[in-house]
Amino acid sequence: MSVRAVWIVKWATGGVRDNNILLTRTYPTVEKRARTFSSVDKYVAVPEDREFCQAINAEFGCNAQSTQFIKSRDSCQKVLSQQKPVYELTTEKGKLWPVIIVEQYGLMFCCLPLVEAGCDERPPLISIPGISVGFSLLLQIADLLGPLPSDADQNSPKFQDLYDYLCFALPFGTPLDIDAATVKAALSSKPIQHIQAQKQPAWKPVLMKGGKSQVQFVTSECVRAVLYGNQTVNDVWDVYGTVTCKAELEGIPDVTVNLSVAVNHPPLDNLIVHPCVNTADTQSNTGSVTVPGSSPGPRRLRFSPPLETFTLCHYTSSHTSKLPIQGFYQMRGDKTSVKLLVQLKLQENVKNNFDYCELQIPFYNRGSIVNIEHTATVGTVYVGPKQYRLVWSIGQRFPGRHLEIELNAVVNFKDYDAEERKSVREDPFCVGLNAYAKLLFKISDYTLSGCFVDQKSVQIYPSTKAKLTTVRELVASEYKIWNSHGDYLASFPTPKYLLS
């Protein structure tokens, strides 16, 4: 369980260069072992900083060829052994694998574990101990450094602490103790100030001591949608959710609960449960017929909960007939000025009480917004950060009897400045009239599928008195409305004659 090399790279716009590498640490003794374990034609040496930067840029598409299709990087037939955060980097000497890359605080923490394989074939990742050790090492280094100022370099005091940490935790490339708190205490000859929390196994052999018994269920549902405003293309959407549970109970209990849906709602499908579930009704009800005015049968789960919060199950609802909010977006204009219209309508059966609801209209490949002239039937309109996004904060309710709102606006832009826009992630498709608006909202105590945890169905064995809490919420995820006057991104099913 050794490491051949460790790098810390500062991420920069336009890719990384030699001067972006804040730390390089190689271990010749481990490298000699790597050369011994590999055959002559399979061995790939640790690259120099310049070559490593080129490999990073090529893999993440930051060089001049980022817009070109490269089969080894962009093809659907990409090497199956590459599983994030494990990457394969292409160097001048060959394929460098497995490189672990973790991004935090604007830095890329990288390491190359030693693969002690006696054959030329790549072993599965789960059989390489250095993968888990390297990943844990990078997380400890990231916690030790923390956020750095933009002008930080190798002379920063934090890097001196990191140097001491690596000398103690990773001498000669083989880890002894990588826990940052333990290493700090050992270097300062002081006792450890905190007691390490021990993670309990899923079967919870230790009794919970003290405190009031309680069980909490949270049903978090997402709706993802794309609205085209075009009669030739149908709007598409899907609904999916998770039920998380936190059970603080004495002993090793069994909990039984019903996952139900409201009246006149379609049944749930694709129910995927946590390993702690002992028995579950996981059969899909897709083919069942729901009688009007009634609700489908509940999905019953029995499980032995671990101590920590866990995801009890995932589900989908593929028969939701209507979107919660219908939208229409219309924009015309040129590079310096556009006129836009947005109309939104809340469906009658949707709860009209939002935690938040706002519409964001990004303007890619244009200059910064100079000024706006607008009229909105509700809420406030303002320019977002970096002056390239228009934000319509709708508020908590759709007013009026018809639950319809509207925004008219004229937006003026400065001339496009490529240097000024470097800090903004551009969308290459959104040029001219190709544009979309993004809707963000959250509704508490409501789900579009009608899914809810039936409190009356909860049973705990051995029987105990516990406080029961259930929470529901609906959140918008990638809810886009395309400009009806521009082009749009869409996928269409493959014709049957091409499949035969």
| 385-429 tens-digit pLDDT | 888 999 999 999 999 888 999 999 999 999 888 877 777 778 889
Q: Are strands 369-376 and 404-413 parallel, antiparallel or unpaired?
A: antiparallel
Query: In this predicted structure, which of 183-187, 193-197, 443-447 has the lowest mean pLDDT?
Result: 193-197
Q: What is the pLDDT of residue 14?
A: 61
Q: What is the pLDDT of residue 196?
A: 47
Q: Which residues of 42-78 are buried (b: 16+ CB within 10 A; e: fewer)?
A: eebebbebebbbbbbbbbbebbeeeeeeeeebeeeee
385: phi > 0 → left, psi -120 to 50 → alpha, else beta; which? beta
Does the structure show a pLDDT above 70 at 54? yes
CA-nearest of 89, 101, 114 to 141 is 101
Average pLDDT, the chain: 84
How far CA 287 is from CA of 267, 268, 500, in Å, comes to 10, 11, 26
Q: Please state, in angstroms and rounded to a whole number, the distance separating the CA atoms of residues 125 and 132.
A: 9
Name the pLDDT band for 499 (thresholds 50, 70, 90).
very low
Name the pLDDT band for 201 (thresholds 50, 70, 90).
low
Most confident of 191-195, 347-351, 425-429: 347-351
**Which helix (H) or strand (E) element contains residue 301?**
strand 299-303
Which pTM was predicted? 0.60
Q: Please state, in angstroms and rounded to a whole number, the distance separating the CA atoms of residues 29 and 172.
A: 7
Residues of the chain with CATH 2.60.40.1170: 214-322+448-482, 325-444
- Give 439's strand partners: 359, 479
Q: What is the pLDDT of residue 285?
A: 44
- Pick the residue with more confidence: 79 or 109? 109
Q: What is the architecture, at CATH level 2, of domain 214-322+448-482? A: Sandwich (2.60)
Q: Are strands 254-261 and 94-104 parallel, antiparallel or unpaired?
A: unpaired
Does the structure show a pLDDT above 60 at 76? yes
Q: Please state, in angstroms and rounded to a whole number, the distance separating the CA atoms of residues 342 and 361.
A: 10
Q: Are strands 254-261 and 451-461 parallel, antiparallel or unpaired?
A: antiparallel
- Pick the residue with more confidence: 180 or 3? 3
Q: What is the largest CA-CA distance in the chain?
A: 77
Directed axis angle between helix 180-187 and helix 157-169, to 10°?
A: 90
Across the range 291-313, mean pLDDT stands at 79
Q: What is the DSSP letter of 297?
A: P
Across the range 353-376, mean pLDDT stands at 93
How far CA 349 is from CA of 39, 219, 321, 364, 447, in Å, comes to 67, 19, 12, 35, 11
Name the pLDDT band for 206 (thresholds 50, 70, 90).
low
Q: What is the pLDDT of residue 464?
A: 86
Q: Please state, in angstroms and rounded to a whole number, the distance separating the CA atoms of residues 165 and 160.
A: 9
- Helix extents (H) in 155-307: 157-169, 180-187
Q: What is the pLDDT of residue 73?
A: 64
Residue for token pair 């005015």: 293
Name the pLDDT band for 195 (thresholds 50, 70, 90).
very low
Note whether 272 and 291 are within 8 A (CB): no
- Give 192's strand partners: none
Q: What is the architecture, at CATH level 2, of domain 3-187? A: 2-Layer Sandwich (3.30)
Residues of the chain with CATH 3.30.450.60: 3-187
274: phi > 0 → left, psi -120 to 50 → alpha, else beta; which? beta
Q: Please state, in angstroms and rounded to a whole number, the distance separating the CA atoms of residues 229 and 347.
A: 17
Q: Which fold has domain 325-444?
A: Immunoglobulin-like (2.60.40)
